[in-house]
């Protein structure tokens, strides 16, 4: 079976960080995504609110850098939660367990919204954080013959890369209403 969700949106509330009895960080937040479309010439917008959950180091990173209104992209899996409320009623909801997160706020928009990101964080070209994988690495002992066949010295291959000139990069004017997310 395959269970993968990718969402882009804004946080509807600040991160709520808690720790389990085992010491693992668990963070909860809400994410609002929207879809803009046109019906009979009339522009409409549909908003979807989704609860998201971060675990381990990604929970701590989210708590440190994200605030209400922060724009993020999350990848994860859809989870079905069930519980019994205080009145004895069975309750349920779908939520997303975040496996990968990318912060989409730019330095300018973060300052405009009053959030303060560290300069080092903003200087990075990509603000990705991926949940660490807890799979045991597989290791295969090389045989004696494989070791014999390895070269005695390593020479770095020479690769020449051409950087595009600024004049060859086209300028694209995109209206924000045309972006589907």
Q: 49: part of which helix (H) or strand (E)?
A: strand 42-55
The Cα 133–Cα 135 span in angstroms is: 6
In a domain, 157, yes or no: no
Cα separation of the two ends of the chain: 27
Model confidence pLDDT, tens digit, residues 129-167: 555 544 444 444 444 444 444 444 445 455 444 555 555
In a domain, 167, yes or no: no
Give the CATH number of the domain where residue 81 resides: 2.40.50.140
Count of domains for the chain: 1
What separation in angstroms does the CA of 160 have from each of 157, 163, 166, 168? 10, 10, 19, 19
Domain that holds residue 25: 5-133
Torsion 106-111-112-115 (CA) sign: positive
In a domain, 55, yes or no: yes
Model confidence pLDDT, tens digit, residues 85-137: 999 999 999 999 999 999 998 765 544 444 444 333 333 334 455 555 444 44
In a domain, 154, yes or no: no
The Cα 37–Cα 31 span in angstroms is: 20
In a domain, 57, yes or no: yes
In a domain, 176, yes or no: no
């Amino acid at each position: 079976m395959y269970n993968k969700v990718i969402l882009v949106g804004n946080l509807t509330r600040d991160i709520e960080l808690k720790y389990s009895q085992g010491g693992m960080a668990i963070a909860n937040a809400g994410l609002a995504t929207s879809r803009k479309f046109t019906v009979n010439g009339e522009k409409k917008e549909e908003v979807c609110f989704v609860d998201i959950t971060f675990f381990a180091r990604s929970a701590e990173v989210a708590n440190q850098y994200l605030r209400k209104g922060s724009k993020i992209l999350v990848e994860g899996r859809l989870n079905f939660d069930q519980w019994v409320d205080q009145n004895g009623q069975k309750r349920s909801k779908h939520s997303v367990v975040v496996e990968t997160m990318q912060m989409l706020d730019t330095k300018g928009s973060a300052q405009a919204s009053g959030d303060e990101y560290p300069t080092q964080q903003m200087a990075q070209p990509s603000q990705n954080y991926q949940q660490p994988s807890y799979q045991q690495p597989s290791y295969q002992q090389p045989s004696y013959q494989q070791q014999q066949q390895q070269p005695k010295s390593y020479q770095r291959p020479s690769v020449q890369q051409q950087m595009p000139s600024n004049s060859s990069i086209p300028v694209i004017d995109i209206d924000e209403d045309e972006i589907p997310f």
